[in-house]
Structure 1
């Protein structure tokens, strides 16, 4: 049941389904079955956000989210985590932690991205309040860098002219004590946004990445790999072309793909497009990529190299040796 205050917050904060769609954002994308499927991703996030803002009680919120089809359910949890993060940061509470300690734990990696969406709408002085206490999770806090990824995605998706066309760089923030790495994680999110902005067309995504400064491209390609494998959007032969187009950054592309496969495995549902992307982008199957993710994880890092980045580098080393299936 919706609350009056929740409905008012939704009206103020939630974008409409049309405004997050490709035409609403002004993206020059040919609409077909694949791109309409991609467009359902941000729309699922909006649904989750609206439910998170206005629903009274965790049980009802979880029941609504579980009604979303498995392919898109994680994105709805992403939107719900965004909403609850806004509420916790501004009004206090443990709503986000409660969600992610329950059924939302299976969608934790996407939920972190939802936390990043909330960061894009909150003043930086409140960012210290956004990360829930999830010490029981093996992915926390290492994978909380996906929140910064989500922040970068939000900037680029809703501010294409500034962050993609003009390639501006946000001010660093000492996330997990690593302000310099903050900008790299932002670029990983911008890379994911490039996949959506260009409708999952490798022929357009590749030159878009190439337009950025060389030192940013590895992280951008990793973001592309995460989006292509998790969200889908193009045929297998186009994915093979994407792996070729990545060139020297193929292993970075694979890092994103590995995280997408691991996130799908955590959720308990891996759609055919993720399996196809795994094979096309890395040359490996799902089980092998999950094994790579789990056996390369690290728990300690430094300000210069957070545990998340050390994990990414280990994955990169493992996938670099795999021949791509192209």
Structure 2
């Protein structure tokens, strides 16, 4: 990238969506306001070339789109509305052209526009390493309506908003060189944050714990269990899988469903008495929701129930600091 300032000018938005925005790109910082009846939400996620993506598995456009999508999913998991985002990108001195970088920003803008979000800043630097994309998203949720992992209680129903395992299956196809013809590739390359579903849950007013499925439902269930000081029991036969998943071995299916991650569905809990009303709300909005387990008060473990037996599930998922030795 020869001219940083020309590049920044080329990606500066020509219009804005949010009425909360006072002043966006053009000064040292952006200005916005949040109404008094709302709480502000902020989250950050980073994608690193060679760890979170490869050029062989994601196009530059898909890389940008996914980089923002994973942050929007965190807002969805709080029941919030995404509003603004800031993009910081560390560009290798070789290997990435200005055209490819612009494609990354096009992908970011495509999904940002879909949710009527405004880009309000960021940073662009050179690096001797691989490409890094760090995105911060700012959102809002009504006061008293935030959906926390710590809200689960014994007796709750555990639910999931959609099938899991498809992204891991798609990545497997890509790594085997099957390209866009591989089964489930779209699950990996084109994730869809469940903002609508998160909003349905937040607006319901019920006591709900919630997490997004970024690292797999086993890992996300552990996070809810630990935050709420409860145990979670998942029913293996109740966990929804993508259509056609029976083509894989039962072991492979279960591994992808439990630990594959990057499905970005929502997993959570709600009181058993409120479950029928939640189902009704989702039906009214023509959205799916599945009962996949229940909450118990013994310890902070996660269990799998299958054919009248229970098996303890490890907290797997992706750990950036785990030993590779």
Q: Same fold (TM over 0.5)?
A: no
| Larger relative contact order, structure 1 or 2 (CA cutoff 8 Å, min sep 6) | 2
* TM-score normalized by the length of structure 2: 0.26
Structure showing greater radius of gyration is 2
- Whichever structure has more strand as a proportion of its residues is 2
TM-score (ref. length: structure 1): 0.26
**Which has the larger helix fraction?**
1
